[in-house]
């Protein structure tokens, strides 16, 4: 085919080359302009729209949005060209148009990489140059070549330009991540950090495996709506550890993750410091090593749950954190009279606020800097994140850069999108595992009521007609959930309509009324029908 390619085809194809280059070079700065654009869309989207998108698409909402933006970019390029051609623009006008579009694309690409990265000039500049190399080469080919360019030749040029963009991106990748390598890394052993600080090092041995008690061979393991149903070939008594039960204290690897952002911010601890400022007598900055070795640092086991968790859902986890009370940090700065909120500001633009009175009165409102004996993993907010036990996870700002005392009311990220401000957790209980051993069946799970604690859990095997008290494990801490287990004689393998309900430490039974997560967290009893 040697027909002249339409301008729309050439422009669209150029946009595709541009996108390829952008994605190839993204690791150099730890993000890319398309993700930044998606982020802007998420942030300006009205609260209910964002909520509906997250509820219907879940984890696919963000990738879908990025795909949409990519398609829109290509369509816009093709559209502009088709429009210009349709109007029969002359050469001079075409050149002007090309120049204008070029300027816009260069500026957007550079600004996008600048926003995605953490400010290292040469990295985002190099990323921009490589991402634009492909499309730029295409122009050279076209202008250097004959005025009429056959489709085969165009395709060959496009392939070459895409190759240059992707090849350049891969080469840039090999230059490495965005770190200075000076501060502690995400997930680094806290002992190693302390030793480094003291000037000694020993190899990181990792944690020893814990032996597992004989639980019998498990047959017929399946999942019914998040609940693990199994039959075990043993007569051993049930503990709290049978198949499907979550660990009382989980690990970073199995902790749920929820972020507003398309990609997590890469914070370089070597260049990061926490800023404590606002309405305080003496603002100051503290680096990660100083926080890790802070005199008030303590280990605490905390359960967090996302406010968008549904009844029986798994957006709830328990982990061991190393943390410094926020009030200890603020005491060093000296909070001024008239303080209203303690605002946390994050590297991804997220903000949250908690009344100063609450921070002042509660030792357990903390800034976490460690998890499982290591510095925080990136996904959980490296290098520092807030934890407010008993409030939904939205209050616990990750990737904190500043703690700022305000003299006015501050509206947090999700509050501005119509979710409740205080976000005190509702009492919840959920079935996680049902197991048969001979004639006995055990129902196990977790219950949580934040700072109110859990006093009682009842289980029904007949859809709520009759109830029995479950055995309760001691909670791993006052900030954590409690595991429960009910063992019943049940030779009959027919369907069981399992329902669970908890009573908190204030004597209030969990409400049966079913509500969805928006705006104050889901409520209602969890149940599942199983046969085993």
Ligand X SMILES: Nc1nc2c(c(=O)[nH]1)N[C@H]1C(S)=C(S)[C@@H](COP(=O)(O)O)O[C@H]1N2
Edge to edge, what strands does the sheet with 227-233 contain? 217-224, 227-233, 428-437, 440-448, 482-489, 471-472
Query: Considering the complex, what minimum distance in angstroms separates the CB of residue 510 from Mo ion?
Result: 20
**Which one of 58-66, 130-138, 325-333, 345-353 is the stretch in contact with ligand X (CB under 6 A)?**
345-353
Query: Considering the complex, what minimum distance in angstroms separates the CB of residue 474 from ligand X?
Result: 24
Among 118, 268, 348, 415, binds ligand X (CB under 6 A): 348
By CB under 6 A, tell whether 272 contacts ligand X.
no
Alpha helices in 59-215 (DSSP H): 61-86, 91-116, 121-144, 151-173, 190-198
| Residues 6+ positions from 156 with CB-CB distance below 8 Å | none
Total site size for ligand X, rule CB under 6 A: 20
Strand partners, 189: 374
Query: Considering the complex, what minimum distance in angstroms separates the CB of residue 255 from ligand X?
Result: 6
By CB under 6 A, tell whether 380 contacts ligand X.
yes
Among 139, 142, 196, 255, binds ligand X (CB under 6 A): 255
Give the three-state DSSP class for 321: strand
Total site size for Mo ion, rule CB under 5 A: 4
By CB under 5 A, tell whether 425 contacts Mo ion.
no
User: Binding mask 197-226 vs ligand X (x if CB under 6 A, - otherwise)?
Assistant: ------------------------------
Query: Considering the complex, what minimum distance in angstroms separates the CB of residue 466 from Mo ion?
Result: 36
H or E stretch at 37? helix 33-44
**Which one of 14-22, 123-131, 254-262, 501-509 is the stretch in contact with ligand X (CB under 6 A)?**
254-262
By CB under 5 A, tell whether 258 contacts Mo ion.
yes
Query: Considering the complex, what minimum distance in angstroms separates the CB of residue 381 from Mo ion?
Result: 13
Nearest to 446 by CA among 262, 247, 278, 307: 247
Q: Residue 405 half-sphere exposure, CB side, CA atoms within 13 Å?
A: 28
Strands 341-346 and 351-355: antiparallel
Query: Considering the complex, what minimum distance in angstroms separates the CB of residue 272 from ligand X?
Result: 14
| Residues 6+ positions from 393 with CB-CB distance below 8 Å | 258, 304, 305, 306, 307, 315
Task: Report how far residue 344's alpha carbon sits from residue 403's, in angstroms, rounded to the nearest whole number.
Answer: 5
Nearer to Mo ion, 113 or 419 (CB): 419
Task: Give the footprint of Mo ion on residues 285-314 (CB under 5 A).
Answer: 306
**Footprint on this chain of Mo ion (rule: CB under 5 A):** 258, 306, 393-394
Which positions touch ligand X (CB under 6 A)? Answer: 255-261, 304, 306, 346, 348, 350, 380-381, 393-394, 396-399
């Amino acid at each position: 085919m040697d027909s002249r390619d339409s301008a729309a085809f050439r422009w669209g194809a150029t946009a595709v080359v541009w996108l390829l280059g952008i994605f190839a070079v993204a690791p150099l700065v730890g993000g890319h302009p398309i993700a930044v654009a998606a982020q802007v869309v998420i942030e300006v989207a009205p609260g209910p729209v964002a909520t509906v998108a997250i509820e219907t698409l879940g984890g696919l909402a963000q990738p879908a949005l990025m795909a949409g933006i990519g398609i829109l970019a290509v369509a816009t390029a093709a559209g502009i060209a088709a429009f210009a051609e349709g109007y029969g623009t002359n050469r001079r006008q075409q050149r002007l148009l090309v120049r204008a579009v070029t300027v816009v694309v260069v500026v957007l690409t550079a600004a996008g990489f600048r926003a995605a990265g953490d400010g290292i000039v040469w990295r985002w500049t190099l990323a921009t140059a490589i991402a634009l190399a492909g499309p730029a080469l295409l122009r050279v080919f076209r202008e250097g070549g004959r005025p009429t360019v056959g489709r085969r030749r165009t395709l060959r040029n496009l392939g070459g330009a895409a190759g240059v963009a992707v090849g350049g991106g891969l080469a840039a990748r090999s230059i490495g991540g965005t770190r200075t390598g000076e501060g502690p890394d995400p997930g680094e052993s806290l002992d190693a950090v302390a030793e480094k600080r003291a000037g000694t090092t020993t190899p990181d041995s990792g944690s020893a495996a814990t032996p597992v008690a004989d639980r019998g061979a498990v047959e017929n393991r399946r999942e019914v709506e998040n609940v693990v149903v199994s039959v075990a070939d043993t007569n051993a008594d049930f503990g709290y550890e049978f198949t499907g039960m979550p660990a009382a204290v989980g690990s970073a690897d199995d902790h749920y993750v929820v972020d507003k952002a398309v990609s997590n911010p890469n914070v370089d601890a070597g260049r990061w410091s926490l800023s404590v400022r606002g309405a305080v007598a003496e603002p100051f900055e503290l680096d990660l090593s100083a926080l890790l070795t802070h005199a008030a640092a303590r280990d605490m086991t905390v359960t967090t749950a996302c406010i968008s968790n549904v009844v029986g859902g798994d957006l709830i986890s328990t982990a061991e954190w190393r943390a410094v009370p926020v009030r200890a940090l603020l005491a060093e700065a000296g909070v001024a009279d008239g303080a209203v909120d303690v605002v946390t500001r994050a590297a991804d633009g997220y903000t949250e606020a908690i009344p100063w009175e609450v921070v002042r009165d509660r030792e357990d409102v903390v800034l976490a800097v460690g998890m499982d004996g290591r510095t925080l993993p990136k996904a959980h907010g490296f290098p520092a994140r807030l934890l407010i036990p008993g409030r939904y996870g939205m209050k616990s700002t990750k990737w904190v850069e500043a703690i700022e005392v305000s003299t006015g009311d501050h509206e947090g990220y999700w509050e501005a999108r119509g979710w409740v401000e205080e976000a005190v957790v509702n009492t919840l209980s959920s079935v996680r595992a049902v197991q048969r051993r001979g004639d006995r069946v055990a129902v196990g799970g977790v219950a949580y009521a934040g700072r109110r604690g859990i006093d009682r859990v009842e289980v029904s095997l007949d859809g709520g007609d009759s109830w029995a008290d479950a055995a309760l494990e001691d909670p791993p801490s006052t900030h954590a959930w409690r595991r429960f287990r009910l063992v019943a004689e049940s030779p009959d393998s027919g369907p069981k309509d399992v329902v669970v309900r908890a009573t908190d430490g204030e004597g209030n039974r969990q409400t049966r009324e079913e509500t969805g997560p928006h705006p104050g967290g889901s409520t209602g009893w969890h149940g599942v029908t199983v046969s085993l």
